[in-house]
């Protein structure tokens, strides 16, 4: 179980991998992906950082986890947002 403290400061015991757990993580940077946030390319922002940023934006806009979207959709959004 994972304890989450939400914006209202309400703690809840949530089982990892459940729908509730995924909803709480939507659009948020997670520890398992911090390397993508910190990575740098030779000429600025790395591809993994851009892709992760796109995933988070899509999650916030749609309220759905990124893995449910086809890769081509993420590429299209990436081109629009980061061009």
Q: State percent of the chain over pLDDT 90.
A: 6
Q: Is the pLDDT of residue 43 over 60?
A: yes
- The C-alpha R_g of the chain, in whole angstroms, comes to 14
Diameter of the chain by CA atoms? 43
**How wide is the angle at C-alpha 75 spanned by C-alphas 49 and 69, nearest 5°?**
95
Q: Is the pLDDT of residue 18 over 60?
A: yes
DSSP state of 6: -
What whole-number distance in Å separates Cα of residue 54 and Cα of residue 47? 11
The secondary structure element, H or E, covering residue 10 is none
Confidence of residue 34 (pLDDT cuts 50, 70, 90): very high
The per-residue pLDDT of the chain, averaged, comes to 76
Provide the whole-model pTM.
0.63
């Amino acid at each position: 179980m994972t304890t989450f403290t939400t914006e209202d400061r309400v703690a809840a015991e949530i089982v990892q991998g459940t729908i509730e757990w995924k909803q709480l993580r939507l659009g948020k940077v997670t520890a398992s992906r911090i390397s993508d946030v910190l990575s740098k390319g030779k000429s600025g922002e790395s591809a993994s950082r851009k892709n992760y940023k796109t995933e988070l934006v899509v999650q916030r806009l749609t309220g759905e986890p990124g893995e449910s979207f086809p890769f081509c959709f993420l590429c299209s959004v990436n081109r629009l947002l980061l061009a």
